[in-house]
């Protein structure tokens, strides 16, 4: 009996065949540090304990990332939209310049003044002097016969002819200022100016 009490005080209990077993060996139960009556196996992970190797995003972090990506996409889409909208502008500008040059070449090749018995109406195909083109307005670029050129229907052409004189007073030379203005489908206006003297 005395030996049995000594064994219990030393932290052992009798086993089979009179052998004493250590209570602290792996696999044995001991008191849980998180509660009085918690029974855990030694060496087993604690239930509810957080795994230190777990990684992820919190809800706030996820919302912040979504906002940043949304702002970036808005900026990129704005640039793409602006580039797409203005990508055709150089082509329209070159076409407007070509139309203005064609009109100007046609006008300056006419006579400076209306010849005797010349035409003074509004039929462009019968114009015979520069002043006949004054206040000409074409909705759609047209050829010399007044026919709309295919593909250039959305251009607007207007012509202004103004009398001007060059040189000092008393020794001036009569001249005409010719302004050809072309408005492209994008709304951009280009004005080509030329002068024609009486020669």
For 78-130, how does the pLDDT look when each residue is reduced to its tens digit (9 = 90+)?
888 877 766 667 888 999 999 999 999 999 999 999 988 889 888 999 999 99
pTM above 0.85, yes or no: no
β-pair type (173-183, 156-166): antiparallel
- C-alpha span between 113 and 176 (Å, rounded): 10
- Mean pLDDT, rounded, of the chain: 79
Per DSSP, 60 falls in state H
Per DSSP, 175 falls in state: E
pLDDT of residue 5: 46
Burial (CB < 10 A; 0-12, 13-18, 19+), residue 55, is exposed
Distance CA 112, CA 134 (A): 13
Where do the structural domains in the chain lie, given as residue ranges? 89-197
14: helix, coil or strand?
strand
Tally the C-alpha atoms within 13 A of residue 26's C-alpha that lie toward its C-beta: 3
Give the CA angle between residues 110, 116, 117 to the nearest 5°: 100
- Cα(182)–Cα(136) distance, integer angstroms: 12
């Amino acid at each position: 009996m005395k030996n049995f009490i000594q064994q219990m005080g030393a932290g052992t209990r009798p086993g089979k065949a009179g052998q004493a077993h250590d209570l602290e060996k792996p696999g044995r139960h001991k008191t849980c540090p998180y509660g009085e009556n918690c029974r855990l196996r030694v060496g087993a992970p604690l239930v509810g304990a957080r795994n230190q190797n777990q990684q992820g995003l919190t809800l706030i972090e996820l919302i912040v990332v979504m906002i940043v990506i949304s702002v970036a996409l808005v900026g990129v889409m704005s640039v793409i939209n602006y580039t797409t909208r203005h990508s055709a502008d150089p082509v329209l500008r070159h076409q407007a310049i070509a139309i203005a040059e064609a009109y100007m070449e046609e006008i300056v090749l006419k006579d400076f003044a209306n010849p005797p018995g010349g035409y003074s109406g509004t039929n462009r195909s019968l114009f015979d002097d520069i002043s006949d083109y004054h206040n000409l307005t074409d909705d759609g670029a047209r050829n010399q016969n007044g026919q709309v050129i295919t593909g250039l229907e959305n251009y607007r052409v207007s012509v202004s002819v103004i009398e001007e004189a060059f040189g000092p007073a008393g020794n001036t030379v009569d001249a005409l200022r010719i302004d050809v203005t072309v408005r492209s489908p994008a709304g951009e206006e280009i004005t080509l100016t030329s002068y024609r003297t009486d020669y």
